[in-house]
Structures are given as structure tokens and as C-alpha cells.
Structure 1
Amino acid sequence: MDGLILAAGFGSRLRDLFASKPLAEVNGVTLLEIAVRQLASAGAGKDGGRIVVVTGYQADAVEAAVADLRARMELEIITTRVDDWEKPNGHSVLAGAKLLRANYLLVMCDHILSSAILRGLAGAGHSQHGVTLAIDRQTVSPLIDPDDATWVQTRGACLIERIGKGLEAYDAVDCGAFLATPALAEAIVEAIDQGKPGSLSDGMQMLADRGAAATHDIGDAWWMDVDDPKAHRMAQDLLDERFSLLGNDAAWGHRLEAGVNA
């Protein structure tokens, strides 16, 4: 299984605490390392798979951190830089997808996810879908920032009707984790060719319009977006001093499962 981590952005809302969002620490562990270990807990980077980290802002520092992780972990982790990190995140997907050979798990560097979410996604894809998105039906939670969330309106049992920030009608929230096929990058390119900015959501909507964007309901599994100081404080509290990366991947997955929905 391959994995892709988007870690190119500026991270303006965490800027007062950390110079680089991927290198922001939750109880001494960087968001970058959390993202890598989350993917590894679902099988990414092993048995011939690789994990690609897309860098941009402060790329040198993030790439040095990736080199350290690669030296400490038995995983194939490589980096690539997006041409312009100020462009929407779909451009980062395009940069990373070029280095991936088939379907892949895609995560945002600032999202902490129960390992059950990624394991579920890894087995949830269907050949007729270009992408499968992890969604949470619990749209009201202290862990969700309604002003920043990407909302989802679903259709039928498992399809996306609409996706984006600021949707007026929605019944789920985007958890920031995807099982992507090559069709996702193709849809982002098509969206750009049609004059859209090239966000990941632009590509997702292109696929949704064709009935090719599926959902994976996470149920009661735990996740959060560490995007601002308030969310960072909550992450520190929820993943307290017991949060450690000294164990193996199985132990890591267990620690994430121990997170409690607030």
C-alpha cells in the first residue's frame, strides 16, 4: 500500500506556536511523524509500498525531518516539492501522485486519525469509484471547527453529492483521509483546465458529479484536525503523557484507538 502526506502549506493559524505546521509537536511528537505512523499502521510504506511526503513551505526543514524518520523506521519514505506551495492543495496531490504506482491512502499532515479509519479506507475502495473519502456523520463536536471544516452532502448509501467549505446543506464532515486512485489526480487536472483553482475539493467534486466519489463512514472512530492553538491544546489534553511512539505499529494503533470522542 502506498501513502501520500500533504505537508506543503504555510499553517498560518499555528504560526504563533510553531514555525512549521508539519513540525508542530503534540506532546513531543511532530504532526509529520504522527501522519507517517498512522499510514504505517494501515500498511503503507511496507511490502513494496512507499510513503510520499509533499513539501513546500520550509521544505528543507521538513525534508530533514523525513530523512530522520526514514533512518529510524523500516519504511520507504520519500519527498517531493510542489512547485508553488501557495497554490491550493490539489497541486500538492498532483506533485505526489506522480511518484505513486497505483491506489494510495491520502492524508493531511495536520490530521490525527484513529488507525481504524485508515484500515477501513484501505479495504473500502471499489473499482468504479475514483476516490473514497472518510466521513464523520457527527457534524457537531468540540473537535470540529465549523468555520474551517470541509462539509459533505451525501447521496444514497455511499456517494458524495457535494463537497466544500461553506456548504449550506450537508450531512457529514470530511475527515481529511482518502483512498485515492489515479482518477483523482486526473480530475484535479481537469478542474484546473476548466479554470478552477485546483483544490483537492475541486477534483473531488468533478468525480462526485460523475458518481465516482464514494464515502466511508467512520462511525464512532476518533479524529481531529490540529489547525489552530485551540485545537492544539485539545490534542495535547486528549493525547496526554501516555501518548508515546516508543512501541511498534500495533501499539501505535492501539494508542490512537484509545482516543476518546469529546
Structure 2
Amino acid sequence: MKCLIVAAGQGARLREKGELKPLIPIKGIPLIERVIGRARKGGIDEFVVVSGYRGDELRSALDAVSAREQVRITHVVNDEWTRANGVSLLKAKPELDEPFLLTMCDHLVDPEIFRALIAAPSEPGTVTLAVDFNIDSPLNDPEDVTRVKCADGRIEHIGKVIRDFNAFDTGVFLCGPVMFEALEESQAQGDDSISGAMNVLARWNKARAFDIQGRLWVDVDDPVAFGKAEGLLDSGTF
């Protein structure tokens, strides 16, 4: 199965750690290389990476990873990288003609999340988001994560500022072609984000939730989260 990694943005909040977020070393290994390594442990054997900001530099680094680790990495260029992340996903459509996983270049997750999501039963014509119902965990900032309202295995609403929620978006999705239909619909309505597409799918009753059941994940989006990720890696529990 292919895994799409969105890595086109500027990553300004981690600028003190490095100029290009996906290549910032965390415990000696670039962030995106850790994402790829964890996804491979979770059963992924091929990657599509969307680059934008300082894309030549990122693509060169990934080509070196591909050669060294013997893993296939296909590049997609997003020249509109200042727009929201759904634009990156839609630009990868020509490379993805079968079910695929989607994740972010700055989300470190337990490989078992990938493995369990792939193995879980899925309904044709839907998109499934891995969600964390442990909303009181100190690991991820509740003021920064994307919030999700779930009911009976379905996603009803998703967004950064929604007030009625019972889960967090881990940034790991199992997608099919309907995701691209939803992205096009959402962008036509003026919302370029992946969350916008998920809200479209929710209205179509095609957005599903997968409970990660307490498995760990961290969005390495700022220096505080970076420190938490380092601590998890140091502890050997992650």
C-alpha cells in the first residue's frame, strides 16, 4: 500500500530548530525520515511525498533516503504551497489510483496505528480517520490539534475551533478516490483544507472514525511538541 506524506508547508513555528521542517533532525534523524521509518514498520512499502517550500532541497534529501534504504519514494510538486494542505493532497491524485494511507511530515505515530488501520474493516466509498479519544492527554496541545466529533463510528464534524468534540485528529487517514471528490467539492466552496474535505464527507455520510485505543502519537509542530517527542524517543516507549 502507498502512503502519501504532505510536506509542502513552511513550518515556521519550528524555525528555531531548522530552516526546513521535514529535514530538522530529531535525535539525529530528520523528521520526515522518522515518519517514513515508522510507516514502513506499520506495513507501508511505497511513498508519495508532496513538497513545496524549498522543494528541491527536500526532494534531494529524500532521493538519498530512497537509495540508502531501498524504498520507493515518488515526488509530487506543489507550487501553491502557501495554500492549505488539501491542495497538496489533490495534486497527488494522478499517483494514487487505489486505496492509500495519508499522513503528515511532522506527525510521529506508533507504527501499530498504521498497521491496525490497514487491517481494520472498511466500507467502500468512505474515508477513515484515525482518532484519539484520549482528549485529556498532555501529549498534544488541545488548543492546537484538530478536533473531531464522532458518533457510532462516524465523523460528524471536524475543525480546529469546534466546541463540541470528543476526539483528536491524529493526521493518519485511510483514503479512497472519494477523498479527491470531497477535496474538489470543498475547494469549490472556498475551503482548501483536508478538514474541509472531511466535513464534506461527513455530510455525505462517508467519513469514518478509527479508534487508536490509546496508542501514542505526537504532532511535532512547535518547540514544545519537539521536546515531548524527544522525551518519548529517549524513553524507548515510542
Shorter-chain TM-score tier = over 0.9
Letter in structure 2 aligned against 1:229: P
How far residue 197 of structure 1 moved from its aligned partner, in angstroms, is 2.5
**TM score, norm. by length of structure 2:** 0.96
| Structure 2 partner of 1:217 | 211
Q: What is the aligned residue count?
A: 238
Amino acid across the alignment from 1:109: C
**SS across alignment from 2:92:** helix
Once the two structures are TM-superposed, the CA of residue 185 in structure 1 deviates from its matched residue by 1.3
1:202 equivalent among 186, 196, 199: 196
Matching of residues 15-94 of structure 1 within 5 Å = 15-45=15-45, 50-94=46-90
Q: Does 1:164 align with 2:159?
A: yes
Q: Encode CA deviations 1:132-177: one digit per residue, 9 max, x unaligned.
A: 0000000122211122110000122x10000011010100000110
Whole-Å Cα distance in 2 between the matches of residues 21 and 92 of structure 1? Answer: 16
Aligned counterpart, 1:97: 93
For the residues of structure 2 that align with 1:119 and 1:135, how far apart are their CA atoms? 14
SS at match of 1:15: helix
SS in 2 for 1:169: coil
Bigger helix share: 2
Q: Secondary structure at the match of 1:71?
A: helix
The structural deviation recorded for 1:128 is 3.4
Q: Which runs of at least 4 in structure 1 moved beyond 4 Å after TM superposition?
A: none
Structure 1 regions of 5+ residues with no counterpart? 243-254
Question: Which structure 2 residue ranges, 5 or more long, are not aligned?
Answer: none
User: Is contact 1:38–1:115 with CA below 8 Å preserved after alignment?
Assistant: yes
Question: Structure 1 residues 201, 36: CA separation in 2 closer, same or farther (over 3 Å shift)?
Answer: same
DSSP 3-state at the match of 2:209: strand
2:180 corresponds in structure 1 to 185
Quote the Cα distance in structure 1 between the aligned partners of 2:8 and 2:49: 9
Cα deviation for residue 3 of structure 1 reads 0.7
Counterparts of 2:128 and 2:76, CA distance in 1: 24
Q: In the alignment, which residue of structure 2 is the partner of 1:245?
A: none
Alpha-carbon contact 2:125-2:177 (below 8 Å) kept: no
Displacement after TM superposition at 1:192 (Å): 1.1
8 Å contact 2:22–2:105 — kept in the other structure?
yes
Output the TM-score relative to the length of structure 1.
0.87
Decide whether aligned partners of structure 1 residues 202 and 125 sit closer, same or farther in structure 2, where only a CA change above 3 A counts.
Answer: farther
Contact in 1 for aligned 2:131/2:170 (Cα 8 Å): yes
What's the CA shift string for 1:198-229, capped at 9, x where partnerless? Answer: 10001111111111110110012111110001
Partner of 1:140: 136
Per-residue CA deviation, residues 55-114 of structure 1 (Å, 9 max, x unaligned), is 001101110111011101122111111121000000011112321220101000100000
Separation in structure 1 between the aligned mates of residue 66 and residue 200 of structure 2, nearest angstrom: 35
Name the SS of the counterpart of 1:22 in structure 2: helix
- Which letter maps to 1:43? G
Q: SS of 2:50's equivalent?
A: strand
CA distance in 1, matches of 2:135, 2:178: 28
Secondary structure of the 1:118 match is helix
